[in-house]
Amino acid sequence: MPHKRTDSNQAKIVKDLRKKGYWLWLTHMVGHGFPDIIVLDKKLRLNLFEIKTDVGKLNELENKFWLTYRGRGATIRTADEAIAYMED
């Protein structure tokens, strides 16, 4: 069964990103190490983000995903981190 729990900061990050006009999809329920959200940036690039709290760490499946994924994305802890990444 997919992992459905979200980190305590996810709702604020999603709200802040949407307020800035970013389109995003919640994907935390996919599980199996797949990132928590997908965000379309202003250059129309998809960015995958794993959301962690200040002390959160990637689990084994999440680590495996990031070791093999070749697209854009990162582990983030705040909306500001996500926005800075997307504006790069």
CA 31 to chain CA centroid, Å, is 13
0.85 exceeded by the pTM? yes
As a whole number of angstroms, the distance between CA 74 and CA 15 comes to 18
- CATH no., domain 10-86: 3.40.1350.10
As a whole number of angstroms, the distance between CA 74 and CA 23 comes to 17
Q: Please report, in tens digits, the pLDDT of each residue of the chain (88 residues total).
A: 455 679 999 999 999 999 999 999 999 999 999 999 999 999 999 999 999 999 999 999 999 999 999 999 999 999 999 999 999 8
